[in-house]
């Protein structure tokens, strides 16, 4: 799937005043707040506003955004910038901080180490890969923005490789994501080093995919002699 919707959201004040109360009506568990920004101050302000909200259990900080004060380069492609954002957010909350990494780098392990040095509690990866399609008849890009974020099964091998690399680089728990669409994918992702697994694009194919995967896992675990999922994180590194 290609998307170019950006980071559309109602803004932090609307989340506090409208979205969280509405969510509380149907969901009584802590939620993760995904935070983005175009400057370090943006990240700090947003986390500071959300931190007092009891519903929010932890933060996922998306550092794939362009740094408007750094020539437009994404925070997530420069170790120094990644560490700076992590440290700044870490100072304004005691809740867990998970740094979401961009795959558009030559050394994903170096970015992860920078986030760990900045005080991150965990790493999530990967975000989408850049891609495009062209309308042959009209001879123009299908997406008005020219490029979009590629997600879905096509990116799974890339995500798996990067989770593997980050697992070897840091001692932090990892949320692995990118093209996961089956119980077998979950097992693979955990064997590569993920402590938890995220599912995104597959929900657009089947809204019940998370339920279906959870229901399929026991049989898959029995087939492969897995007693507890917690025991297999990083298991492929032992061979």
Q: What residues act catalytically?
A: 65
H or E stretch covering 196: strand 196-197
The number of helix segments (H) and strand segments (E) in the chain equals 9, 11
Other Cβ atoms less than 10 A from the Cβ of 93: the count is 17
Cα dist from 155 to 76, 119, 159, 221, whole Å: 18, 28, 6, 24
- Is residue 53 within 8 A of residue 24, CB to CB? The reply is no
**CB contact set of 77 (below 8 Å; sequence gap of 6+):** 102, 104, 105, 111
Locus of tokens 């998307």: 3
Measured in whole angstroms, how far is the alpha carbon of residue 118 from the centre of its chain? 18
CA-CA distance, 19 to 15, in Å (whole number)? 5
């Amino acid at each position: 799937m290609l998307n170019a919707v950006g980071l559309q959201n109602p803004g932090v004040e609307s989340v506090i005043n409208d979205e969280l109360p509405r969510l509380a009506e149907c969901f009584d568990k802590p939620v993760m707040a995904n935070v983005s920004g175009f400057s370090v101050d943006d990240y700090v302000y947003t986390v500071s506003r959300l931190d007092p909200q009891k519903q929010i259990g932890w933060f996922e900080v998306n550092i794939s955004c362009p740094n408007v004060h750094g020539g437009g380069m994404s925070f997530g492609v420069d170790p120094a910038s990644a560490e700076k954002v992590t440290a700044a957010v870490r100072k304004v909350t005691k809740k867990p901080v998970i740094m979401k990494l961009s795959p558009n780098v030559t050394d994903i392990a170096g970015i992860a180490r920078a986030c760990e040095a900045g005080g991150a509690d965990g790493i999530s990866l990967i975000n989408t890969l850049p891609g495009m399609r062209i309308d042959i008849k009209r001879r123009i890009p299908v997406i008005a923005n020219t490029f979009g974020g590629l997600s879905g099964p096509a990116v799974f091998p890339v995500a798996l490789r990067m989770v593997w690399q980050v697992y070897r680089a840091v001692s932090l728990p990892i949320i692995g994501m990118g093209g996961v669409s089956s119980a077998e994918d979950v097992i693979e992702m955990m064997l590569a080093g993920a402590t938890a697994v995220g599912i995104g694009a597959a929900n657009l194919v089947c809204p019940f995919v998370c339920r279906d995967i959870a229901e399929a896992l026991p049989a898959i675990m029995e087939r492969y002699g897995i007693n507890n999922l917690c025991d297999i994180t990083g298991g492929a590194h032992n061979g």
